[in-house]
Amino acid sequence: MPRFITHTLPALGTSLRDQAKALASGGVDAWLAARRKREEVRLRESLESFLPEIGKLSLWPSHSKTDTGRWWRPARIWLGQQGDQWYFLAAGPRPFLQQISADLARSARYNHVTGQLVFHDQKAGQTFSLKLQPEPAYRLLTLIQSRKEPTYA
């Protein structure tokens, strides 16, 4: 283990020391996965009073952020799904929770130039976008589009 971790980090507290040990032992991918899991748990706890069924939601993190009342940093926006219900979610002192209409969810398209999943509803004039990596965005698009109602000629 690097000397910095064993000699300097004990003074900084156990949380930071444990994160540094996880980073040194498991690598960056394991550290990022653990961090993302903690963030998801925090999101579920923060929004449980507003959305009781949040425990049943499938959640996907985005790279987009919004202000939820934290002064030091904005919160990550998550895309949540349960059945045909879709939500934009973010944790914080003023949590962000917005349900997406079925028409808006069906209008989703991925813009590979900007790296955004764009939702646009022409009837209501609403447009929302989330920054996502291409692979999760395309998986989400196939999931969203597989729930489309059949069109009859």
On whether the CB atoms of residues 80 and 59 are closer than 8 A, the answer is yes
> Residues 99, 31: one domain?
no
Q: Which of 115, 111, 106 is nearest to 133 (CA)?
A: 115
Instruction: Quickly state the pLDDT bin for 119 (edges 50, 70, 90).
Output: confident
> Residues 110, 66: one domain?
yes
Reading the block at residue 45, the tokens are: 């706890």
Q: For residue 13, what pLDDT is reported?
A: 53
> Residues 135, 65: one domain?
yes
**Domain span at 30:** 1-47
Q: Which of 35, 40, 39, 41 is nearest to 18 (CA)?
A: 35
> Residues 145, 84: one domain?
yes
| CA 138 – CA 136 distance, rounded (Å) | 6
> Residues 10, 73: one domain?
no
> Residues 16, 64: one domain?
no
Quote the pTM value: 0.73
On whether the CB atoms of residues 144 and 82 are closer than 8 A, the answer is no
> Residues 34, 100: one domain?
no
Q: For residue 89, what pLDDT is reported?
A: 92
Q: For residue 7, what pLDDT is reported?
A: 53
pLDDT in tens, 70-118: 888 899 999 888 888 889 999 888 889 988 877 788 888 899 899 899 8
| CA 34 – CA 115 distance, rounded (Å) | 24
> Residues 4, 37: one domain?
yes
> Residues 89, 119: one domain?
yes
Percent of the chain with pLDDT over 90: 9
